[in-house]
Amino acid sequence: MRLVAGTRAPECTFSTLRGTEESLSSLRGAPVWVSFSRFAACPLCNYEIHRIRGEWENRFQGISFRHFRIMQSPMEKLHEFVATKDPPFELVADPEMHAYRAFKVERSILKMFTPSSIKVGRAASKAGFRPHGTVEGPVTRVPADFLIDADGVIRVAYYGAHIADHVPLDVVSGFLAGYAERAG
């Protein structure tokens, strides 16, 4: 059963690529964006990270929030495939998929081959993101994103419609702008 807006986010502790341990409860006081991707060598996932990195300064620079991108790969694979893109947010390895289970992140073979996922796959390939490396965890993993307020309550629970579908950045920007207005 999916998590829904208005419920408290599950308690999770993340081991980040930067070597820190972060728990959701310790982050109270500022908004948090928790995003679940597939595996470190996934071209669709790396294309999404590239896309966010390109938008980060215009959309998110100077805003006080935390973003955790969780992948079902071990830490060494994140170093090999994702850290080289120098993302401006925290990368989290979850090969045991504890956080995936806590947030009810789904899998679906039907969502692998949708017209939209194929379109994103072509764009990723054109941008130089092609399949390489190994698949860690379920290849059928569908992305999910959660925007959590400063009190630890999920305000947006976004479950992807296909394997390349993440919360639109306009939704994230709107959430952060709305939060800043309430806090200000």
Share of the chain above pLDDT 90, in %: 58
Classify residue 8: in a domain, yes or no. Answer: no
Classify residue 64: in a domain, yes or no. Answer: yes
> How many Å apart are CA 131 and CA 44, to the nearest integer?
9
β 66-71/32-36 pair status: parallel
Classify residue 6: in a domain, yes or no. Answer: no
Tell me, what CATH number does 163's domain have? Answer: 3.40.30.10
- Which residues have a Cβ under 8 Å from the Cβ of 153 and sit 6 or more positions away? 6, 7, 8, 9
Residue 180: predicted pLDDT: 57
* DSSP string across 155-167: EEEEE-SSTT---
Contact 107, 138 (CB under 8 A): yes
Classify residue 94: in a domain, yes or no. Answer: yes
What is the pTM assigned to this prediction? 0.92
Classify residue 127: in a domain, yes or no. Answer: yes
Over 70: is that where the pLDDT of 10 sits? yes
Number of domains in the chain: 1
Classify residue 184: in a domain, yes or no. Answer: no
> How many Å apart are CA 171 and CA 183, to the nearest integer?
18
Mean pLDDT value across residues 111-123: 91
Residue 130 belongs to domain spanning: 16-21+28-179
Classify residue 9: in a domain, yes or no. Answer: no
Mean pLDDT value across residues 164-173: 95
